C-alpha cells in the first residue's frame, strides 16, 4: 500500500511515525511505502508561541529538523502539494512531481486570518506565527500602562489560548510592577468567558479575583485604529491602548483552491476520519470540519486512531476502531499554575483548580513534545 501524507505538522508527523513502527516489516518487504510531503524542512512546536509572546521562550526552542523527527523508512520531501487529483489517486506538488497513492492523508493545518476583519491585521498584536509573537513581545516590553483588550475570533486554533494569554499577561505586567497601571479587558464571542461551560465556571471567579474585566457576547466587527476603538457585531465599543487578538482561522489556501472544503476545512467523518465521499482519503487535525477543538492534542489522538486503522487495513484489510473525539488541553492559569480539560464526544470536561504541579507538567510537556512527535508518547 502506498501511503501519502500531506502535511508535516503534529498530526502528519505522529501518524507517519506510528505507521512506520506498525508497518516495519511491510516497509522492509515492499508491502507498504510511506511518503510525507511538507512545505518546510522545519517542524514548529506551535504551543510554544504563547510563551514566546510573553518572553518565556526563545524562537530556537520552537523548532527541530523535520527529517530528524521521522522514523527511518519514511520518505520525506519538502515539496508542498498544489493539486489534489483525487479521482486519479495522485497529488501534484510545487516542483511539478506527481505522487501516486493508495491511501492519502491530508493534514495541512490552519492559519490565522486577521485580514477578514477590517483593521485587525494592521492594529492588533497576535501570536500565531513566530514573527507576530516576537512583535507582540516587543510591544509588551514598550507598554507602560493603559487598557489592554483581548479580542477573540471564531474559529481559532487552541481554544484555551484566549484564557491562557490573559492570565499570562496579568502575571507579566504584575512582574514588571505595572499591575496597577494596566487594565486587562477580556472579550468573548458567546455568553460566558469560555466555550466549555465548566472551564468558564472556573475561570470567571479567577478573573474576578485578579481584577480582569470581561465582556461576553462580543464578536469582533472592526477595528478603528485611528481612534483605538474595537467594535463588535453586537453593537458594543471598547477603547483600547493595546489590542491583542486571537483572530479567526481558516484552513490552508491549497484546500480551498482545490475545492476540497469551504474555508479550507474538509468535510470529514467524525468517527472514521475519512473525507466525506472518499474511502481512501483521510483528514487529520485542524484540516477537518469536525466540530471539536482545533488543537494539537486533537490531531495527536486522531493520528493514533488513524495509525492503528491504516496499519490494520494493510494487515487485515479493515480498520479496527473509531475516533471517539478525545481531546486533552492544558490550561495555563498564569506563569506558575495550570489545570487541564479532557473530553470526548460523549463526556464534557471537568477542570479542577489550577496547581503548580500541572504547570510543571506542562513545562515538561513542552520538552516531551518532541517525543510525542516521534510517536513514542
Residues lying near other proteins in the complex (CB under 8 A)? 116, 154-155, 159, 189-191, 195-197, 217, 219, 233-234, 248, 262-263, 270, 291-293, 325, 327, 341, 343, 345-346, 348-349
Cα separation of 278 and 268, whole Å? 9
Nearest distance from C-beta of residue 285 to other proteins, angstroms: 15
- Which residue lies nearer to other proteins by CB, 22 or 194? 194
Quick check: 196 and 162 in contact, CB under 8 A?
Answer: no
Considering the complex, state which of residue 159 and residue 334 has its C-beta at the smaller distance from other proteins.
Answer: 159
Following DSSP, what letter does each residue of 197-253 receive, concatenated? HHHHHHHHHHHHHHT-EEE-S--EEEEETTTTEEEETTS-EEE-SEEEEE--EEE-H
For other proteins, the closer of residues 66 and 268 by Cβ is 268
Residue 369 CB burial class (10 angstroms; 0-12, 13-18, ≥19): buried
- Collapsing DSSP to helix, strand or coil, 173 comes out as helix
Nearer to other proteins, 282 or 343 (CB): 343
Bridge partners of residue 93, in order along the sequence = 81
For the bound state, the minimum distance from the C-beta of residue 283 to other proteins, rounded and expressed in Å, comes to 16
CB atoms within 10 A of CB 201: 14
Lookup: cell for 330:
492544558
- Cα gap 143→184, rounded to integer Å: 13
The distance of closest approach from Cβ of residue 294 to other proteins in the complex, given in angstroms and rounded to an integer, is 8
Residue nearer to other proteins on the CB measure, 268 or 309: 268
State the nearest-atom distance from the C-beta of 104 to other proteins, in Å. 24
Q: In whole angstroms, how close is the CB of 341 to other proteins at the nearest point?
A: 7
Distance in angstroms (rounded) separating the CA atoms of residues 127 and 132:
5
Q: Which one, 43 or 231, has the nearer CB to other proteins?
A: 231
From the CB of 49, what's the least distance to other proteins, in Å? 19
Amino acid at each position: 500500500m502506498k501511503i501519502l501524507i500531506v502535511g508535516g505538522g503534529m498530526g502528519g508527523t505522529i501518524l507517519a511515525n506510528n505507521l512506520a513502527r506498525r508497518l516495519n516489516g511491510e516497509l522492509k518487504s515492499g508491502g507498504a511505502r510511506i511518503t510525507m510531503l511538507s512545505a518546510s524542512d522545519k517542524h514548529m512546536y506551535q504551543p510554544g508561541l504563547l510563551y514566546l509572546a510573553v518572553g518565556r521562550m526563545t524562537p530556537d526552542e520552537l523548532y527541530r529538523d523535520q527529517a530528524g523527527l521521522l522514523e527511518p523508512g519514511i520518505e520525506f520531501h519538502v515539496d508542498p502539494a498544489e493539486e489534489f487529483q483525487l479521482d486519479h489517486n495522485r497529488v501534484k506538488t510545487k516542483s511539478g512531481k506527481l505522487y501516486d497513492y493508495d491511501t492519502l492523508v491530508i493534514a495541512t493545518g490552519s492559519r490565522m486570518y486577521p485580514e477578514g476583519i477590517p483593521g485587525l491585521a494592521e492594529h492588533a498584536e497576535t501570536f500565531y506565527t513566530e514573527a507576530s509573537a516576537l512583535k507582540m513581545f516587543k510591544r509588551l516590553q514598550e507598554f507602560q500602562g493603559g487598557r489592554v483588550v483581548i479580542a477573540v475570533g471564531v474559529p481559532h486554533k487552541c481554544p484555551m489560548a484566549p484564557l491562557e494569554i490573559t492570565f499570562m499577561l496579568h502575571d507579566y505586567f504584575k512582574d514588571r510592577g505595572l499591575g496597577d497601571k494596566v487594565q486587562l479587558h477580556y472579550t468573548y464571542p458567546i455568553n460566558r468567558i469560555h466555550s466549555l461551560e465548566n472551564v468558564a465556571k472556573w475561570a470567571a471567579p479567577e478573573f474576578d479575583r485578579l481584577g480582569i474585566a470581561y465582556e461576553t457576547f462580543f464578536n469582533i466587527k472592526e477595528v478603528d485604529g485611528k481612534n483605538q476603538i474595537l467594535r463588535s457585531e453586537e453593537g458594543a465599543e471598547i477603547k483600547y491602548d493595546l489590542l491583542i487578538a486571537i483572530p479567526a482561522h481558516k484552513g490552508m489556501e491549497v484546500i480551498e483552491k482545490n475545492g476540497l472544503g469551504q474555508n479550507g476545512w474538509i468535510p470529514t467523518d467524525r468517527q472514521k476520519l475519512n473525507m466525506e465521499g472518499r474511502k481512501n482519503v483521510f483528514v487529520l487535525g485542524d484540516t477537518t470540519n469536525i466540530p471539536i477543538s482545533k488543537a494539537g492534542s486533537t490531531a495527536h489522538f486522531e493520528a493514533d486512531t488513524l495509525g492503528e486503522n491504516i496499519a490494520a487495513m494493510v494487515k487485515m484489510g479493515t480498520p479496527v476502531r473509531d475516533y471517539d473525539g478525545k481531546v486533552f488541553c492544558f490550561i495555563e492559569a498564569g506563569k506558575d499554575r495550570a489545570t487541564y480539560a479532557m473530553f470526548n464526544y460523549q463526556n464534557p470536561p471537568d477542570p479542577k483548580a489550577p496547581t503548580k504541579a500541572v504547570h510543571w507538567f506542562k513545562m515538561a510537556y513542552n520538552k516531551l513534545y518532541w517525543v510525542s512527535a516521534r510517536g513514542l508518547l
